[in-house]
Every structure is written in structure tokens, then in C-alpha cells.
Structure 1
Amino acid sequence: MTSLLLQRTAPRIVEEDGSFRTKMLDIASGLDNVIALGRGDPDFHTPAHIVEAAKAALDDNQHHYTGPTGLPPLRQAICDNLKAEYGLDYNADEIIVTAGVQESIMLCMLGLVQEGDEVLITSPRFTTYDTAVHLCGGVPVPVPTFQKDDFALDVDEIEKRITDKTRMFVMVSPNNPTGAVTPPDVIRKIADLAIKHDILIIADEIYAKLIYPGHKHLSLATLPGMKERTITLNGFSKTYAMTGWRVGYMAAPADFVEKLTEPRHTLSINTCTVSQHAALAALTGPQDEMEATFRDYAARRDYLMEALSAAGLSYGAPGGAFYIYTNISSTGMKAKPFCENLLRETGVMVFPGDMFGEPDSDFIRISYLQPLPVIQEAMQRIQGFITANKKAIA
């Protein structure tokens, strides 16, 4: 029997596919020696100088509200970093510091999406975008990417989905779950397309610091005519291993930021004050520890690509982030049963493409967020699992 509250839940609350994630976590809780290669949470700890800055803020009685848009020194440091790293030209009054990029996503949709608006989203995708669009009365429209292109965006695939109801396009590069980096020449074509069809762009660049050799990130808002129609999203979770601190930000024209200040205040008043002090230390302090983690990610990526190929599995070569989107169709299994059986039989946890907007998927997302020896052990288990199942099928 359903509860009265569930019966009266507003139709804007759409059930997403969280049940399989819960099922996997329940299975894992009953197993020993699980190797988790599913979540997008870095295995490195937050650098010590960032933690010390938070402790100092606590000792300095920084226990109270900040302004809704964030600490002024942090907003300025974000501007300085965006300019130095990506050539983006923002002022402090064009920044809102949020409780992770998750809150920035929701704030953008609240500010821009009206009933019936269509929002194009790079796919496979981080389905938080779908939820936020649904909550605001909009319609998510996936823009597919393909393994043959290493999952980089194709402008033709975007344009064929533009209608008179299209409000915006969400461009995530590097992408989750594929690690795809859309090349600069394609980014320029996307800018031309946005101007031609007068659509807005959310440029989610949370993984932009994690780019591998041979690939280049281009921030859309640096291109002519694009700053006024682009919201740039970024944050601290992935680059600085600060997932639990919950600090992200959005960068957009000042008048739009001013308009969103009160809605942002309504959502959570301000990002945790202590976390903001930590984020300031992240941007202004030494970067050498994070550069070392990027080198570790690159070594893990290189190993996994070789090991997956040796196991007879194909993939889109990731140009950034810390995921490898792997095609398991050669095993004769779909992604959900593959992931569930792999976990039960070997203790290795990976996530199916079904959790990233691809029902009945042939793909799994592997996060290389474990030390290399642990990843090597996981691959030995995966190889054994594939071999055993092929024998069983034969």
C-alpha cells in the first residue's frame, strides 16, 4: 500500500534509475574485499594545506553566513584562475559560489527553463541534468555521441535535434561517463550553431583540468559572441579531491548573476563558509600535489586501455576525466547483468551505461580511482570473469 504522501507527490518528481545503484551497493555491503571502480570520488585525500586552511578558518571563528554569491576573495580567485587556466574573462560580480556544481545545475535550470522547453544534453550523460530539467517543467533531449568518435560531440547530431522549443544545450567536456574531450574545432562549430539558432549554452567544465596529452580543452565562453549566451560551470571536487566539501561555481554575465542571487539564497543561503576558505586555499596555494595526482591518473588510464584491449573489450579512448566507457558486447551480456554478476562473483564494482541515460546498454563505466596495483587486481578478476562466462556460454 502506497503512502498518502507518495500518492500526492507532484508530477514534476520523476523516478530516475537509482534503484540499480542501490541494489549494487546493497550487494557490495555483504561482500569482502570489494574493489570499487564505480563512483566518481577521487581516491586521493584533499591536500593538507587546504585542510589546514579550513582548520584556521574554524579557529578564526568563521562560523557564520557569507553573502549568497560567496566570499569576495574566493570569487576573485576564481576569476583569476579562469583567466590563467582557460582564457576566460570574468569579474567577481559574474560569479556565484554554490554547494557543488550540482547546485549550480539546479540554479541554471530554475533561472532559464520554462514549461515545455527542450534542453539538449550531451549523452551518455550525468543524469542530474535530466532531473533538474524535469523539476523545472522542461524536456531533456539527449544528443548521442559514439564510440567510433571516442564519444566526442558531432555538430550534426546537435543541429538535427534543435526545434522551436529548444532553450539550451548542455555541453559537458570532458564528459562523464565517457571521458570524451570535444576538440576545439568542434567547439567553434558549436558556438556558430548556438548563434545561428539563438540558443543558450551551459558549458560544464568540472573536468577541464584533467586533460591527457594529445587533447586540448577550449572554453566556449572565450569565443566571439558566446560569453553573453553561456554559463560556465566548474568546481573543486574533482581537481582538488574535495567532493565532500561541496564547493562549485557558475560564471555568467553580471546582470544574470544578480537576478539569480535571491533564488540562490533560497536554495541554501550560502556555500559552507569553512569550505569556501578551503577552496580559496586550493586556488591560491601550491599546485604540485594535484599535478602529481594527474600523472597518476594518466598512468592508470594507460594501463587500463591496454588491459581492456587484451581482455577483448573495446572503448572510447578517454581524452580527459578519470573514466573509461567500455563496450562489453563481446561478452554476450548486457551491462546491468554484467555489472551485477561481476560484483557477486568477483567483488569488482563498475556501473552500467543504463545509469547514464542508455537503457539496455552495452557499455560500463570504469572509474580509475584506485591505486594502480588495485586496478591491476581488478582487471585480473574481470578477465577471469569474462573467461569463465565465455566457457559457460560455450
Structure 2
Amino acid sequence: MNDKHTHSAPSSRVRTAGIDNRADGGSAREADRALLACTGPTTLDTTHFDTVRFPAPAWAAERFAAAAADGALAYTTYRGSDDVRESLAGPLSAWLGFDVDPLENILLTPGTQAGLFTTLAGLVDPGDRVAVMDPDYLFSERILTFLGAQITHIPLRGRTGEDGGLAPDLDRLEDAFRAGVRLFVFSHPNNPTGAVYPREVLEGIAALAMRHDVTVLVDELYGRLVYEGTPFVHLASLPGMRDRTITLLGPSKTESLSGYRLGIVVAPDRILAAAEDVLSLTALRAPAYAQHVLKGWLVDDVDWIADRVQQLHGLRSLTIKHFSQLPWVGLAPQQGTAYLFPDVSALQLPDRVISEALATRADVLISPGYQFGPSGTGHFRVCYARDEEVWDRALGRIVDVLDDLYRRGAAA
């Protein structure tokens, strides 16, 4: 017998990072790929900020160039440059509302995404029960699934009161804690809905976390992007929460510094030690020269940020105006981020069909709702941080396609 006919290729198990399944039972991996296949060179990508229309502040490149000119700064400890963390401690303490120790409480990471992964990887073992908000940032659940966690979804509900905003179902959250969940993960402001939670809601989360001895990871990447004087409360600043809260921060979105790959994790030393171990095995450290850009963050950009929020406020109004032409589209109150999360469940169509129709007929790439959790189905997310004229025209195309889909469904 010829040997070449008796050998087969070695088999291997490929991790899928938790994206094989989505809420409707299909494959998120294949749905994401199919959607991207519908795009072309002219497609407007609304899955992230337009960093041409909204560039980084001038001081960022200046600080980076100054650091890059000094080869002695090429290497830092795993937690990041001592000098940079020392410079961050004061502004962070002032913003967060509690004392932040530069050596024990700050970890610099290659973007907030790396902060999320390294922290969760240092905390979560296979089989651990973890609660996540629903809907929420798409990669939180995917990372947790990759790590083998058991996921419990905590739905967002409409609040009673003047604004009718969204807030987590605290009864469901307490049920999860009673059932053995010891880690709760959520974004604030919420990505994708833009919801900002009032103090009493955060105090409710804090009370439950302390009562049931739960650690909370809160992604506050958009904490500086809130509208109309909306108060923003840091969970870790509430009594009893500093030692059980992990706060993820960064300049990537609000300051358009995504390309610099900078994230900040503020947490107790015991948690950062575990995250530091994971970082040392993956990226070693945040980009060393880029770290020095953070010396200007929260310091040189206060007025600059206020102007940017005003510009985004105008784009938010433009976006709401267009979607409001369709009375069947639901728009929840949105107090932060540069995202809108329209409810198009009245179409009674799969997310895949809606997103592919917008890609092929409106030439616009959106983030389909299934990416953000079971409650996200029937929605999609757009980022309106774009050139005003380009976005105005794109919104017209989006509304026309949605209107046609609705009329066809009604006729059928």
C-alpha cells in the first residue's frame, strides 16, 4: 500500500472567540463576513468615528514625535511608563473622584480593547458565571465566551420619569448575583444605545455588588462624551466601590486617538497584577512612545473636548431628524456617545437582511443589532461622527431604503 494514501492531515481545534452564534441561532462569524462582502470602495462605514472629519488634537502628534526622538523611551515596564502614570494620577483622581495611586492603580494597555481582554482573562476561569448588560459592547460577551464563562444577560429597560431613558433591570441583576454571578460587566455610557445612567441607578448597582460581594467592570470609554449637561457618575467613586470596581478608560474615541492604541485600566492592585500577567504574554506593554501622549489627556484638551461635543450634538440632531421621518422607527433617549441605535423591529426582517440591504442599496455599512446581544436584534447601530454633508446624504439613502422595506412588507 502506498503510504501517501494512508496519511491524513493533522486536525486542530480552532477557537472562534465566541462569535459563532448569535441571538437568532445563526453564525455571527458568517453573518459578519457576508455583510462585509456586500461593501465596496465607496461604502460609508458607520461602525467607527470618521477620524478625517474628527482628527486628533495637534498636541498628540507633537508629544508622540518628542517621545519617539528619544530612544531611551522605547521600553517600559509592563504596566507602562512610571513617568506617564505619575502624570496621569492627578488628572485621573480629579476626574474619577477618588485618589488613584500611579503605581498600584493604573495599567496602560494597547487600546481599551486590550484593557478589556487582559483584565477579563486575568479574572475569569472556564465555567465562571458572569453577568453582562443586554444590549452592550459586542466584544465583552465574545471575550467572555472565548474564556469559557457562563453568560447571564441583564436587560436594559425604559425608566419611568421625564426622560424615559434606559437602565438595567436591577431585579434581574440581583437574581443573577443570588445565582452565583460574581462579576458584572457593562459599558457606561452604554454602547450601543448611548444611555447614561443617573446616580440612583448606579447606587443601586453598587448596593447589590456590595451586598453579594460582586466585582464590577465598567467600560467608561465614552465618559467624556455626554450631552446637554447630563451628569456623569463614576461607579468607582461611590462609597464602598473603589476596591471592587475596574474602570476602563481611553482617548481613542472622544479624542480620535484610536491609531495610537492607548487604554487605561484603573483598578485595585490585586486585579491589575493579574491583568499585567496577561499583558506580558500578549503585547508586553502599550506602545511605548505613544504612552507619552497621555500626558496631555485630561489636561490639554478640556476646551477642545467641549467644542467636539457641541459638533457631535449637531450631528445627533441631524440623525434624529432623518430617522424621525419614519414613524415606525423607535428612538430611545440618548445622552452620550456618538451612536444611535434605531429600533426597526417593525420591519419583521432578520438583522442580516436589513444590514445587507443598507450596504447594497444605500451604500452604508452599519453595525447589525445581533452583535450587541439578544436584545439588540431588530436594531442597528450607526456612528454619526462624520462629515455633515456626506452624512446628510447618507441618511437620506438609509431612510429611503428602510421606507421601501417597510412598504414592501406592508404590501406583502
Write the deviation string for residues 170-204 of structure 1: whole angstroms up to 9, x where unpaired.
13110111111111111001100001111111121
Which of 81, 85, 92 is 1:82 aligned to? Answer: 92
Matched, 1:110 2:121: yes
Q: Distance in 1 between matches of 2:16 and 2:382?
A: 34
Superposition deviation, residue 221 in structure 1: 1.0
Which of 345, 361, 364 is 1:348 aligned to? Answer: 364
Q: From the superposition, tell whether residues 13 and 361 of structure 1 become closer, same or farther in structure 2 (CA, over 3 Å).
A: closer
1:144 aligned residue: 155
Write out aligned runs for 1:1-394 (5 A): 7-9=12-14, 15=20, 17-29=28-40, 32=42, 34-39=43-48, 42=51, 43-62=53-72, 64-93=74-103, 94-146=105-157, 150-213=165-228, 215-312=230-327, 313-358=329-374, 361-393=377-409, 394=411
Q: From the superposition, tell whether residues 61 and 24 of structure 1 become closer, same or farther in structure 2 (CA, over 3 Å).
A: same
Write the deviation string for residues 327-368 of structure 1: whole angstroms up to 9, x where unpaired.
112334333211111211121221210111237821111111
Q: Distance in 2 between matches of 1:348 and 1:13?
A: 26
TM-score (structure 1 length as normaliser): 0.91
Superposition deviation, residue 89 in structure 1: 2.1
Equivalent position amino acid for 2:14 in 1: T
Equivalent position amino acid for 1:345 in 2: R
**Quick check: 2:177–2:214 contact (8 Å CA) kept in 1?**
no
**Quick check: 1:154–1:186 contact (8 Å CA) kept in 2?**
no
**Quick check: 1:107–1:264 contact (8 Å CA) kept in 2?**
yes
Q: From the superposition, tell whether residues 224 and 203 of structure 1 become closer, same or farther in structure 2 (CA, over 3 Å).
A: same
**Quick check: 1:88–1:219 contact (8 Å CA) kept in 2?**
no
Q: Distance in 2 between matches of 1:359 and 1:4?
A: 42
Q: From the superposition, tell whether residues 15 and 384 of structure 1 become closer, same or farther in structure 2 (CA, over 3 Å).
A: closer
Write the deviation string for residues 268-324 of structure 1: whole angstroms up to 9, x where unpaired.
111101110122233442433332221111111122223212222211121111111
Q: From the superposition, tell whether residues 4 and 195 of structure 1 become closer, same or farther in structure 2 (CA, over 3 Å).
A: farther
Equivalent position amino acid for 1:291 in 2: A
Q: Distance in 2 between matches of 1:85 and 1:24?
A: 40
Q: Distance in 2 between matches of 1:10 and 1:22?
A: 17
**Quick check: 1:353–1:365 contact (8 Å CA) kept in 2?**
yes
Q: Distance in 2 between matches of 1:379 and 1:256?
A: 44
**Quick check: 1:62–1:273 contact (8 Å CA) kept in 2?**
no
Instruction: Give SS of 2:225's match.
Output: coil
Q: Distance in 2 between matches of 1:370 and 1:168?
A: 36
Q: Distance in 2 between matches of 1:128 and 1:246?
A: 17
Superposition deviation, residue 220 in structure 1: 1.1
Range moving further from structure 2, 147-156 or 306-315: 147-156
Instruction: Give SS of 2:177's match.
Output: coil
Q: Distance in 1 between matches of 2:101 and 2:293?
A: 21
Range moving further from structure 2, 116-125 or 55-64: 55-64
Superposition deviation, residue 5 in structure 1: 6.8
Superposition deviation, residue 14 in structure 1: 5.9
Superposition deviation, residue 24 in structure 1: 2.4
Equivalent position amino acid for 1:77 in 2: S
Q: Distance in 2 between matches of 1:155 and 1:41?
A: 36
Superposition deviation, residue 22 in structure 1: 2.7
Q: Distance in 2 between matches of 1:137 and 1:8?
A: 15
Equivalent position amino acid for 1:141 in 2: T
Superposition deviation, residue 106 in structure 1: 1.7
Write the deviation string for residues 141-160 of structure 1: whole angstroms up to 9, x where unpaired.
22111357533223123112
Aligned length: 390
Q: Distance in 2 between matches of 1:15 and 1:5?
A: 23
Write the deviation string for residues 219-263 of structure 1: whole angstroms up to 9, x where unpaired.
111111111111111111112101121110111123443454333
TM-score (structure 2 length as normaliser): 0.87
Q: Distance in 2 between matches of 1:283 and 1:58?
A: 22
Q: Distance in 2 between matches of 1:328 and 1:12?
A: 28
Q: From the superposition, tell whether residues 19 and 39 of structure 1 become closer, same or farther in structure 2 (CA, over 3 Å).
A: farther
| Residue segments in structure 1 that go unaligned for 5+ positions in a row | none
Q: From the superposition, tell whether residues 262 and 58 of structure 1 become closer, same or farther in structure 2 (CA, over 3 Å).
A: same
Q: Distance in 2 between matches of 1:241 and 1:283?
A: 14
Range moving further from structure 2, 230-239 or 327-336: 327-336
Q: Distance in 2 between matches of 1:11 and 1:270?
A: 25
Q: Distance in 2 between matches of 1:53 and 1:163?
A: 49
Identity among equivalent positions (%) equals 27
Equivalent position amino acid for 1:168 in 2: L
**Quick check: 1:334–1:362 contact (8 Å CA) kept in 2?**
yes
Q: Distance in 2 between matches of 1:303 and 1:159?
A: 39
